[in-house]
Structure 1
Amino acid sequence: MTTPYDRDALIELIRREALQTGTFTLASGKTASYYLDCRLVTLHPQGANLIAAGMLERIDAMSDKIDAVGGMAIGADPITAAIVTHEGLRGGSMRGFMVRKEPKGHGGGRQVEGPVKAGDSVVIVEDVITSGGSAIQAIRAARAFGLEVRGVVAIIDRLAGGSEAFAAEGLQLQTLLTIRDFGLQPDA
């Protein structure tokens, strides 16, 4: 049995578990007055279920059949796992994959890992979008592997240029939430 998506419950969980205020340096290099540590929610039992349910709603609404979901290791891994678990519980066949920051130095030497093959239609998943840099790395690696990237789905958009960066890649960003859902505005 899967958990239905409850937007308000996800907002409350993120507010309680993941939202911190202060001065922070983000992965993009920008300084911010708040930090969203979504690992505290993607690795939380209720959080993982709510995120998977919400993302599956977004993915199911896409016009293309999606074969797999995945993104940049390590941040996207719990999201991917939650989605494929929900997909399995509902009898679906969507698989997961992960993208390494660089190709593995041994074994098959792959940068994209998982049960995917060239030509599969995929969605890149991410926790928090700022500039979109990490997800764009995943998009480019997935494309180089031969995957057909159909979109990006994230938990939260910081409204700091990520959507425009994906548009430049020919992709649309869909998110469950934005920082405005927490009463926040984009940092200058």
Structure 2
Amino acid sequence: MTDHPMTHDQILEHFRSAGALLEGHFLLSSGLHSRSYLQCALALQFPADAMRFGRMIAAKYLDDNIETVASPAIGGLIIGYSVAAALNIRFLWTERQEGEMTLRRGFTLKPGERILVVEDVITTGGSTRECIAALKGGGGNVVAAASIIDRSNGVADVGVPRTALVELDVPTYTEEQCPMCYAGDSPYKPGSRTAAR
């Protein structure tokens, strides 16, 4: 862990220069609307960058006796793996099966296994909470959660202590409250080829 930690502004500049911090009118996976979108895959496409962020998160948990890092698929996979590599511990993930987050692929947990859940971006904390529930259902002890970016500015509650490398205050709106929708602008759902409606 020899990197000098990047500052808040350096991390955001990395996201901007990678084209990972977008401005517009977006429909987020949470169902909320926002003027900005973070496409972490672009910020993590070079392994050295993913490993640097992974080491920065791992450094926060060196003394917590974490046994396993877990992430919800698919957004958390690269950063979760990078954190596990930095801690030299096991990595696994949860994924949706028939709409429910679950452990699959033969992953099992020993009773009380100490787990850190890692995501790329947290907005509402929904997928992190679902991942935690699946891990607890499998007998794990989720002791903390972490992300590169926290769009909720520390507000999202995932039921365990949580840290982020960067906290942002990015307003989100329901469709009914969205000023961009009110102005007649249709949201764009990242990853799709057409507008959301």
Do the two structures share a fold, i.e. TM-score over 0.5?
Answer: yes
Q: Work out whether residues 121 and 151 of structure 2, in 8 Å CA contact, stay in contact via their aligned partners in 1.
A: yes
Alpha-carbon shift at residue 71 of structure 1 (Å):
1.2
Q: C-alpha deviations, 1:54-113, integer Å up to 9, x for none?
A: 11122225xx3110111111111111221222233xxxxx2111112128xxxxx95375
Residue in 2 that maps onto 1:148: 141
Counterpart in 2 of 1:44?
46
Cα drift, residue 25 of structure 1:
0.3
1:117 aligns with 110
More helix by share: 1
Aligned residue number for residue 16 of structure 1:
17
**Which aligned runs of 4 or more in structure 1 are off by greater than 6 angstroms?**
none
TM-score normalised to structure 2 length: 0.75
Q: How many residues align?
A: 168
Return the letter of the residue paired with 2:62.
D
Which whole-Å deviations, capped at 9, do the CAs of 1:142-177 have from their partners, x for residues lacking one?
0000000001101111127x74432xx2x1221000
Q: Which runs of 5+ in 1 are unaligned?
A: 89-93, 104-108
Shift of 1:128: 0.8
Give the drift of 1:116: 4.1
1:146–1:28 CA distance, 2 compared to 1 (3 A)? same
- Superposed CA RMSD: 2.5
Identity percentage over the alignment? 29
> Per the alignment, do residues 110 and 86 of structure 1 end up closer, same or farther by CA in structure 2, a change over 3 Å counting?
closer
1:2–1:76 distance in 2 versus 1, CA, 3 Å: farther
* AA in 1 matched with 2:157: A
Q: Which structure's CA Rg is the greater one?
A: 2
Alignment of 1:80 onto 2:65: no
TM-score by length of 1: 0.78
| C-alpha contact (below 8 Å) 1:124/1:151 kept by paired residues | yes
Q: Is 1:132 paired with 2:118?
A: no
Offset from partner CA, 1:31-57 (integer Å, 9 cap, x none) = 100100011123323320221111112
The SS at the match of 2:96 is coil
Give me the whole-angstrom Cα distance separating, in 1, the residues matched to 2:139 and 2:133. 10
5+ residue gaps in structure 2? Answer: 174-197
Rounded Cα–Cα distance in structure 2 between residues aligned with 1:40 and 1:52: 15
1:28 maps onto 2:30 in alignment: yes
